[in-house]
Amino acid sequence: MTRLLACLTLLFCALFARAEDAAIGEVFTATGARGTLVIEALGSRQRFVHDQRRARQAYAAASTFKVLHSLIALEEQAIGDEHEVIAWDGKQHEIADWNQDQTLASAFRVSCVWCYQELARRIGASRYPQHIRAAGFGQLSDGFAARTFWLDGALTISAEQQIVFLRRLVERRLPYRASSFAILRTIMLAESGPTHRLYAKTGWATRSTPGIGWYVGYLENAGETWLFALNLDIQDAAELPLRRQIMLAALRAKGILPTP
């Protein structure tokens, strides 16, 4: 029995070691950031992981929910397309880009909270549990507040769950119209180059200490699509650029994204 336990322990350690990607670990070490990152190829299923244990830990979804939220809003006809205007009510917000009329495209780009709260009002609280269950997007607690649940921790998701959701999104295995997928793809485009296209969404959960920063999405490059989900501890707004910096550095470290 002792020998069996020892063998199982060695096997577990070997599997865990393979799950921990050294090159990505060096990227995190160089920045001093504490977090996790999962990268997975859509076709080959090749995976690279930093901090597997944290990758399974659920955190507030924050603005990463805007990916699914946009699909829900389009499906529920809370908004017609990416060009329809969402009128600003004149209230001043800390982020200057929010203080004007928005479209779905601009609201997604600047991560406008009040815009998606207006869409939530139009959709209605009763519609969300069904959509979130069908999409497999994390866990939604009972008794959630309809206009803040993705911000206040009522909706949580792990990096691993983000990858599962992103796979279903890219493969269009979610119960939404082709037109809704097409619009989301348009507004998610964050960067394009001669050989690649990057689709992504940031997130920042501020109602915990430390806060949690997110960067999720997928990269199309060299005939393969790479899904990615990163989260890390954020102490203050000055650290927010690390989300994208670490993600791009990790993709380059693995040879997935060309060096500029």
Q: State the Cα–Cα distance between residues 226 and 14, nearest whole angstrom.
A: 25
Q: State the Cα–Cα distance between residues 8 and 256, nearest whole angstrom.
A: 34
**126 is known as an active-site residue:** no
Q: For 31, list phi and psi in degrees, rounded to 5.
A: -95, -15
Written as one letter, the residue type at 181 is: F
Contact 247, 230 (CB under 8 A): yes
First to last CA, the chain: 55
Contact 48, 98 (CB under 8 A): no
- Annotated catalytic residue, options 44, 63, 179, 208: 63
Compute CA distances 40 → 122, 160, 243, whole Å.
35, 10, 18
Closest to 169 in 3D by CA, of 100, 218, 125: 218
Q: State the Cα–Cα distance between residues 114 and 97, nearest whole angstrom.
A: 12
Q: For 28, list phi and psi in degrees, rounded to 5.
A: -65, -45
- The secondary structure element, H or E, covering residue 247 is helix 241-253
Residues acting as catalytic residues = 63
